[in-house]
Chain A
Amino acid sequence: MNEIAITSGRMNQGVDPVLHAWTWEIPLYLYLGGLVAGILFFSAFFYLRHRENVFPAAIKIAPLFTPFMLAIGLLALFLDLTHKLYFWRLYTTIRWESPMSWGAWTLMIIFPLSIIWSAFWVKDVFPRWDWKIPFVEKSIDFLARYKAYFAWALIAFSAILGMYTGILLSAFNARPFWNTSILGPLFLVSGLSTGAAFILLISRSEQERHRFSQIDTFLIGTEIFLIIHLFMGFLASTSVHIHAAEMFLGGPYTAVFWTLVVGLGLLVPMFIEIMELRGVKVPVVIPAVLVLFGGLMLRFIVVDAGQSSRWLYKFMEQLIF
């Protein structure tokens, strides 16, 4: 008797009946990527507007955290890989049509950029800092003459970093919940908002906190707008997309999303920040922490929910992990 072995990608428990491949590593990386994008964007932006003295935390102190955040994010990404030793293959090619290639190369560029950018400001934050190696000291001084060019590069690449995480997910057409072009801008705005919240957290200047409260309020408002339109888009789309949206409108993800992400992560901090701008005294750490928490929950829930949504057997019970 001849035996025929049939293998199919669907015979993988991590794929059928529901995609179960990504757990915590990917959402954590997406979150840190967005956060870093936000911090670097604001740092470069306000540097180009010559606000170094007015916004010291935003321009000088916050970027110092970014290399470490990126490192943790990249580590999480690495841990998620199945064939860990072959990660370098991503860098042997540039594929313009692949968001993953965009992401890999953007990270490859932003990581050294963030380190160099932080190096420019280290002496301002730690006056007694000594580079120890004269070559390093000289190169930093040399490159510091081109700070403006670095700033422009940072603006471009941080915008790409913030956006591509959403575009990466939206490229999965087999996952209806992710398959929407609003995800890119949503993640970008969320990243900027968490970056502004982080700056709020570490800022010591009243004026800086005021300004970033305003910026954050505006960004949260934009995020709420985008989320509403995310769902409006789903409900006006194919029935599979409607089914995906219904996970959040009465389905298993309803409570966690609308209370933790929208309620605690967006509406409550926005209300507190608006009240703060009108004179009510609140320790700024509270809205900032809430926004940072909300951004993290957004990534976790979007990644989890996307994996629950599917085209086939759309009337099967959606599962949560």
Chain B
Amino acid sequence: MKSLTFTRCMFWFGILFLYLPMVVLIIYSFNAGRNVQVWAGFSTHWYAEVLRDRQLIAALWRSLRVAFFSATAAMLLGLLASIAIIRMKRFRGRGLLSGMVTAPLVMPDVIIGVSLLMLFVSLQQAIGWPAGRGLNTVFIAHTTFCVAYSTVVISSRLRELDESLEEAAQDLGATPVATFFLVTLPIIWPALLSAWLLSFTLSLDDVVIASFVTGPGATTLPIEVFSSVRLGVSPKINALATMIILAVSLVAFTSWYVTRRIDIRNRRLQVQYLKEAE
């Protein structure tokens, strides 16, 4: 039992370590004073400041747009890569493909950023495309590293999927394309959704890669935040951070709650049906 209490303690210590900074940050976002460290009474003043900041809101909008398109592209490419790796068992260069979708998971951001920028510049010199750097190059960069995450999520679901379901559909007369849309897709869509969500948040979060590949007038939200954070702690950033934390928690909590409800309902029905069957 001794080791059990030890791991328990470590677990709660871990939780505390994870949440304490967030909690402090949220509390101080309601600080009325300009000085972050000295409590000067409750106020939502800084939230109004954030919402009034045109530059910040524009950057947020740009980030959301890039994240939306990158997540969608990464999800589709990840789906194709997963099908290729999991279902088309033998083709030349399969090892290279699975290597290329694995390596970005660990590749340091500065390397991805610097190498992509150098690629864009060289391409522009050689063939004139991409004409300049901006949101389009950020989109390409984000899609590239998100493909890796999205492939990991989708392929693990696809591998669990009983292949005989797809065989059964074909056996009953469905062409491979019909099989994909009638059987495979309806079963694996939760994985596609989580791949999309993961890519979306990763794209929204990235500061280093975007700093390298972006161009004038295409500052994303993290770049904006980073440049002001470098100057030190500010209550306005606290307010912005709290809003982001709140938004993320809301999405996460809703999805957790919904899946839990479905889970509980299914289990209850199962018990009921099994009783009937007896």
| B is bound to A | no
Interface of B toward A, CB cutoff 8 Å: none
Chain A residues packing against B (C-beta within 8 Å):
none
